[in-house]
Amino acid sequence: MLNNIGLPGLLLIAVVVLVMFGKGKVSSLMGEVGKGITAFKKGVNDGTKELETQTAEAAKDVTPGEKSAEKDKV
């Protein structure tokens, strides 16, 4: 169904949306959508960094070294 929508169909939809909601409402709505996308991307990046940090810390804990020898003495 959506495969048959071409440029004229998209333009018609855009005109109908502008007539129904007005220019100000559509621009504020798009601004909110942009803020939401930005917040989502930031959350994904923060989650990825947190997972990488946890993985790096876990890898450090597993490797034998001076710290593991100190733990055995205690």
What are the average pLDDT values for consecutive 10-residue runs of the chain, which has 74 residues?
A: 79 89 85 94 93 82 56 56
Which tokens belong to 55?
A: 């993985």
pLDDT at 38: 95
**pLDDT attached to residue 2:** 61
Q: How many CB atoms lie within 10 A of CB 42?
A: 10
For the chain, how many residues are written? 74
Tell me the DSSP string of 5-63: --HHHHHHHHHHHHHHH-HHHHHHHHHHHHHHHHHHHHHHHHHHHHHHHHHHHHHHHHS
Stated pTM of the model: 0.52
pLDDT for residue 58: 76
Q: Kindly state the tokens that stand for 10.
A: 């998209």
The per-residue pLDDT for 46 is 93
